[in-house]
Amino acid sequence: MKGQYTMRTKIWVYQGPAAWHFVTIPKKQSADIKKRFGANARGWGSLRVAATVGKTTWASSIFPDKKSGTYLLPLKLEVRKKEGLAHGDTVALKIVVK
């Protein structure tokens, strides 16, 4: 069972000891993902995904954010470099939940 989602979302930086870059999966898609795939969650409630931004596709996981009720996807430095992305940019994102 796979689920494919496309969206436009903004890159933001987690202000902690390490500057992790994330995008937030919008509430509507997050609710559908939780309903359809939440039972398959692994550690920290994560779900495996294939993510695509621009011409770059990579294997990753999305993580639930209890505060906002959404899922978060970390954006690797390698992906940001390949696609010329930075904090505050809006990106077209496709994720396939595995």
CATH topology of domain 3-97: Elongation Factor Tu (Ef-tu); domain 3 (2.40.30)
Q: Where are the domains of the chain?
A: 3-97
Statement: residue 1 has pLDDT above 60: no
What is the value of pTM for the model shown? 0.92
Statement: residue 86 has pLDDT above 90: yes
**Per-residue 3-state assignment (H helix, E strand, C coil) for the chain:** CCEEEEEEEEEEEEECCCEEEEEEECHHHHHHHHHHHHHHCCHHHCEEEEEEECCEEEEEEEEEECCCCEEEEECCHHHHHHHCCCCCCEEEEEEEEC
Mean pLDDT of 33-44: 94
Q: What does pLDDT average to over the chain?
A: 95
Q: What percentage of the chain has pLDDT greater than the value 70?
A: 99
pLDDT (tens digit, 9 = 90+) per residue, 51-66? 999 999 999 999 999 9
